[in-house]
Structure 1
Amino acid sequence: MSKVKDYIKQHRIIIIVNVLLLVAFCVLTTVAHNKADVLYSQQEAARWENKELRKKGVPYAQVSAFISSGRNEGEEEIRNVRSSLASTLAKDSYSESKSGGRVWIDAYCGETNIDVRKDTNTLSVKATGVGGDFFQFHPMKLLSGCYISESDLNHDNIVVDENFAWAMFGSTDIVGMQIWIDNNVYFICGVVAIDDDKTLQMAYGDTNRIYMSFDELKKHSESLVITCYEMVYPNPISNYAYNSLKTAYGFTDEEEETLGKKKNPLSFDNVDIIENTKRYQTMELITGMKMWKYRGMRTSDVGYPYWENVARVQDDEQRVILIFRGLLLVCPIISLILLCYNLWHSRTWSIRALIKKEIEDEIDRRAWKAYEAKNAAEEDDKSDDTSDDTEENEDDEPDVQDEVMIAVTEIDDIETEYTENEEG
């Protein structure tokens, strides 16, 4: 105990520094996790999952596909993607009938600019056509009203943001109000707030936005295409959901192998697929660092919605934090290595001494066993009174003596072996 106290006293400055570095590491780790957790657009897999499959140990993953406008993705293509994903689940026995309830959910969207009228006022807005469970993936804060859904009977309801509400009506309490797009009337069913996060506000911009059913928006803009598809999907093994979506978009295993052999690591495809669930895990961040210097290069015409731009900024922030976390561990790790080195060289025992002690203990055990066997034989001789028993004991005695001789021989062999090892 006194040696420990002396060591702490001699190295107290180093110990204090290492403790402070470890505390700073824990603080940065907590900050990194908190910054990732507030990105609700990346957390849908944790919010929604089939409870029956989860009980069976089947995790879920959120995967997103960002699609080039040049691909001309429409609702027919989305139906094909859904059909492929459903077939994959059915083939692997994860169908809804077997699992009870929905096994997976998805959403899609596309953006365009249109003019919206209210009486004599006309406002240019960015309109997002949505399908599936869009607001399940993007639960923006409601200031009033409710969201729209693909399952709604009427698709003439729209959701507007607070920028639009103030610009067109001068208030956010406007649920039930009417607006006109071309000659069609639409009813405002909800008003959503714009997050006060500075990065999100930069990506969101000052544009007035409205959200409406994709098929309705398509009536007013023939050029409207789907540029984002998202899903939450069973992920029983690593990359199962990711590979299922890649297959649904026509990327075969052979193409993946070919792409992997290319010297140029950048993507030139018209679909960019990302697994959101694990993008901020440590190994993913480390793996992505080798591509970090190419982040500014755009080699395809795939565009990203504002929430993905925010997530990509967070990618960079997470990697910077990871670098600092690693630097904070350098000194404690070196100190631990030096401590182990000093303890090893100042030890009062050796491997040879441990082996010697083990051999001596084995010799003692065998000698004691032989001694007990000999005493047992002598006790048997004394307790026998009849001549017949005496004859039987005489017949048995050589066996006991043999056991004693064998034990003594084994002890001699062990002593000889140890002596040879010690001389060697």
Structure 2
Amino acid sequence: MAGNIEVLGNGRYRLRASIGTGKNRKVFRKNIRCETPMKDDGKFPREVELELAKFVAAVSENKVSRSNMTFRQFTETVWLPDYAERKLKTKTLVRYKEMLDSRIYDALGHIRISKLSPTHLNKFYKQLEEPIEKKSKTGEIITENLSARTIEHHHDLISSILGKAVKWDYIVSNPAQKADPPKVEESERPFLEEDEIKKVMDALSKEPLKYQSMILLDLFSGLRRGELMGLNWTDIDFINNTITINKTSNYTTDTGIYEDTVKTKKSNRTISMPVFVMSILRGYYSEQKKYKDKKREKGKLLFENDKLFIQHNGKPMHPDTPTKWWPKFLEKNNLPHVNFHGLRHTNASIMTALGFDIVTGSGRLGHARKDTFLNTYSHMLTTKEKGVAAAMDKEFNPHPKQRKVYRLKKI
């Protein structure tokens, strides 16, 4: 199959390739841009010839879009029913639909997927960076900016959708791969320092057993919030001092509180717990049992379940409750602000400080891959690395008195 190139001017070229003959002949066109000028001998730049070769190959393999579907049509009639609704977890699907309905469809929904370009996407990302006016809970008009991380989430969703369009032969290439969302500055994960952990534990001793158990369990297990809320008493082994994580408890407006599977296969795990945490948990178990018995006698226990954390009527605790209670507790006790997920990071810092290896840390936290632990908590490992030389010096230096550090004097 042959193809040809048409010069449009200003560095723009139109590629043509066809398939079939006679009445069945179908011509495909693709416009590209190349900054390299035409050669003096009239030959096209090599980049353009390579693009033509790829385009002709794509046409011959029937991988060029023949669809006039818009981005919204493809997403709603193909991507959602054929992939998202079958493969994604409920909470993830709800979040994706919110992103599509609130911003993405308005900006890109009307554009044909075969015409969608990196320029369209870059323009959309730039719009997302602009301040937005919205009403606060008190009715006041406030201005907010989307973070680079949030914009990146929009980019990832768009790229995922278009990636499926490529895989299923709706389009030839994924324009999101050539787009430039704002760069996300990686920051160190917030966590509690050792002295702050002790202050938190001291302040917790004055709180109800339910909240003592909730915070200490999360602090010394590193569970994700959904995993913590998903725990049943049957998951607690008081004899061997272990807990088993095999489900999550989540919430969406449409579904309410519901149970789901854990994030990955590696998230199914059994981990050991400190004796003092299990002791507090045992006290909470006895307290909750008495509470439920009294409620049951009065006919006010409306929901029967085995969850560790419940509401006053027996219904599973709302998954947002820990994230709302925790900052109020910190503020009340003049403790530094670390979000609830920071307890998971704190657990990682504890394991790192105690010298546990990456495999152990990754396993306890339920990471699908060991390098997730390394990438997420590398700053903690760097801090610990600084003590390696000192430990070697202490253990092997044949002249301990020669540990003095000499500094050059300024001249």
Same fold (TM over 0.5): no
Instruction: Report the TM-score range of the alignment, normalised by the length of the smaller protein.
Output: under 0.3
What TM-score does the superposition give when structure 2 sets the normalisation length? 0.21
What TM-score does the superposition give when structure 1 sets the normalisation length? 0.21
- Identify the structure with the greater helix proportion: 1
Which one has more relative contact order, counting CA pairs under 8 Å at least 6 apart?
A: 1
